[in-house]
Amino acid sequence: MKTSQSDSAVTLVRQVAVIVLVAAFLSLPVWLVGIPQTGDGSTHVGYQFHFSQQFWHGDFYPRWLAGSNKGYGSPIFFVQYPFPYFVTALLRPITWFSATTTREAHELGLYCLLVLVAAGLAARTWFRRRYSSLASTIGAVVYISLPYIVGQTIYERASLGELAAFVWMPLIFLLCDRLHPVRFSVLTGIGVLFALLIFSNVLTAALFAPVMVLYPVFVGRQSGTPLIRRVAPMFAAFIIGTGVAAAYVFPMLSYHHLFNAGAVPRHHPYAELGRSLVSISRSDWSNYHIIIPGALAAFCVILLVALYVWRADAGLIRRLLVLGTLAAGAAMLVPGLGPKLIQLSGLKTTGFDSYNGFVARMLFTLLFTAGLGVLAYCRISREETDDGESFLLAVCCIAFLLMLPWSAILWKTMPVFGDVIQFPWRLCAVLTVAVGGLFAAAVDDCLLHRESSRGKPSLRVMVSAAVVVVVASNMIWRVDQKFRHPSTPHYDATRDVDPMYNTYVPDNQLVAFAKILGTSPETWQVAPTPYVEGVRADLTGSPGSVQVTREGPRKLLVSVQSEGNARVQIGQLNFPLWKIVPAENAPRDVSLGTSDGGLIELSVGPGRHDFWLVFDAGRSARWGDIVTLVSVVLIAAGLLIAGLKSRQAQRDADKRLVTS
């Protein structure tokens, strides 16, 4: 492993400023106008509107969004990652955005800027442990400019949680490099970072967890440390991370059966797993103005990289494996080959067209990104190549292959894992981090050995390749249009529908509930309907009256006066966690049920009934909150004690030195 010297203050400030300026430029339309009106942009704006509103009214973890779905409520935050919404809610008191329909979009845009800056600084910190200051900065700039982060995560999908994952993954690698000898501060640091990764995007955390386990296994081989001592600390870190993230993890695991992830691809076939394995289908050629230049550019990059691989200072078997990986990706440029492989695997797929050529664009992103990573490895490949860098190459190749149709049979044999991950191209997040590390290593090697390239890619070749990859692949995502014609979603209460409602509304009530919302399960389009303040309530079956008062986002006071047996429909989605709590006039003959449209429906007897309807998150949520709080307190106390012991040991050492 290479070691690095500390930076001077001036050098550090200048290079940090470069990273900040590049991040600010890359996210310019986002923090000036708001998050883009593409992908999940409108969904995030709606979530943030209700999350911030409830948070600043005392509901510090709004798992039930009372105002979502046009006021009928949503339990989505039992499964939705909370990190971006907490951060953005906390930004509100220090921002200058007025209370308009775009306030949340602007706040989320500022969040994107801060996270992109943090991702660059985190990557530089990781690289700086191994490489020179300049190489680390160049590597960090390229890292945050790669197409999966800029073109896809920010501008195409507005995936706010996945964006934050690019901060935590480099920092986890950094602490893994410092894991031995095991120290409490490092171990808990990895655990806390893993918890933040879970809070940011639990699917990315699931994909990155095997990399975390295997990294110290491979990197520590030459140290002589037994395998169990290299692996055990990582599992301890997972336990710590799960404890810190318990407020999110416990309820999610307890109530996951109430959410049907398979409902999304059933109603929206574009979300089928088979369609997410990246290739070019014949229908993609309708976007010929993108497909043709993208395919030609990707093929040229792969061909150039293959030439350098063949000349690399690596064993024949390793070179053949890397060339085979590149060939497997390049073969997907043949129209129809990928879909044919998916069909042969038996993976259920109703078609292979994708929205606006998304899957084909992902293929170009993979080819460009993986090509840059392999090119970087060609620069550093030699007999004494660092184990960490070899591991990053392995991660790069494996992640790359798992996103291609060649792996369809593997996804077919593990359907449960496929249903959880949903889209195999999520592995591009892991690929991007690995490529960032390889590129920083290559630049450092170029700076150290300017005169001894001997057929390897030079600094000029590496920088030129990075520029081509960044510019060409981000153009494929049409980032230039977002700069020239920026737009942002407006919060519209008359169209405020959680697009994930089909995952938590039972199938037999789904169509009727969608009709109430002004939509249908097979479309994302929502008809504008008047938004009614307060909670709707109707009494049928008997003369009488009903009044509902909202005493909090999860608590409703219901007063019913009925002359006979009647039914009361409450304008809130009936999720299984609602329960009746008696008030002063205890309810008699009152039972809780569900209407045909999925709303709360009460059966009441004659007389007056006063009671509360309470959305009780249950013991799992309460225990999760407690475990998170206790974990944070114990970690803080442990770090304090470890710091005091370290300081005392230093004082004792100084005394012994003076005495001697």
Q: List pLDDT tens digits, range 376-397.
A: 999 998 756 678 888 999 999 9
**pLDDT number for residue 647:** 84
Taking alpha carbons only, the member of 162, 192, 161 closest to residue 175 is 192
C-beta neighbour count of 405 within 10 angstroms: 26
- The average pLDDT across 334-359 equals 88
Query: In the prediction, which pLDDT does 585 show?
Result: 60
Which of the four pLDDT bands, split at 50, 70 and 90, describes residue 419?
low
The rounded mean pLDDT for the chain is 91
User: Does position 366 have pLDDT exceeding 60, yes or no?
Assistant: yes
236-269 confidence digits (pLDDT tens): 999 999 999 999 999 999 999 999 988 888 888 8
Q: Which of 268-277, 466-475, 593-602 has the lowest mean pLDDT?
A: 268-277
Mean pLDDT, range 311-321, rounded to an integer: 87
361 vs 279: CA distance, rounded Å: 9
**Separation between Cα atoms, residue 644 and residue 650, nearest integer Å:** 10
Whole-number pLDDT of residue 180: 77
Local structure of residue 606 (DSSP, 8 states): S
What digits encode the pLDDT tens for the residues 117-169?
Answer: 999 999 999 999 999 999 999 999 999 999 999 999 999 999 999 999 999 99
**Tokens read off for 298:** 């990707």
User: Looking at this protein, which amino acid is placed at residue 296?
Assistant: L
pLDDT value at 567 more than 80: yes
Q: Which helix (H) or strand (E) holds 614?
A: strand 607-615
At 198-222, the pLDDT tens digits run: 999 999 999 999 999 998 888 766 5
Q: What count of other Cβ atoms lies within 10 Å of the Cβ of residue 266?
A: 14
pLDDT of residue 660: 65
- Rounded Cα distance between 426 and 122, Å, is 21
283 pLDDT higher than 50: yes
Q: What is the pLDDT of residue 1?
A: 45
Contacts of 251 (CB under 8 A, 6+ apart): 63, 78, 617, 618, 620, 621, 624
Domains, the chain, in order of start with CATH, read 1-201+213-259 (no CATH), 269-485 (no CATH), 537-616 (2.60.40)
Percentage of residues in the chain with pLDDT exceeding 90?
Answer: 72
Give per-residue pLDDT as tens, 436-451.
Answer: 999 999 999 999 887 6
Q: Give the pLDDT confidence score for residue 655 in this predicted structure.
A: 78
What does the pLDDT look like over 476-498, one tens digit per residue? 999 999 999 999 999 999 999 99
Helix crossing, 459-476 with 288-310: angle to 10°?
Answer: 160
CA-closest candidate to residue 395, choices 433, 449, 346, 440: 433
Q: Which among 58-72, 264-278, 300-314 has the top mean pLDDT?
A: 58-72
pLDDT computed for residue 312 by the predictor: 85
Cis peptide before 181 (omega within 30 of 0): yes
Q: Once rounded to an integer, what is the mean pLDDT over residues 320-334?
A: 94
601-646, pLDDT tens digit by residue? 999 989 888 899 999 999 999 999 999 999 999 999 998 988 888 8
Please write the tens of the pLDDT for every residue from 168-190: 999 999 999 888 778 889 999 99
Confidence at residue 124, expressed as pLDDT on a 0 to 100 scale: 97
Which residue, among 643, 627, 555, has the nearest Cα to 244 in the 3D structure?
627
**Range in 5-19, 176-190, 268-282, 406-420 the model is least confident about:** 406-420
pLDDT, residue 513, reads 96
Strands (E), 417-543: 537-540
Highest mean pLDDT: which of 19-33, 446-460, 578-592, 596-610?
19-33
Beta strand 555-562 with 537-540 is unpaired
290: left (phi over 0), alpha (psi -120 to 50) or beta: alpha
Count of residues in the chain: 660
CB neighbours of 636 closer than 8 A, spacing ≥ 6? none
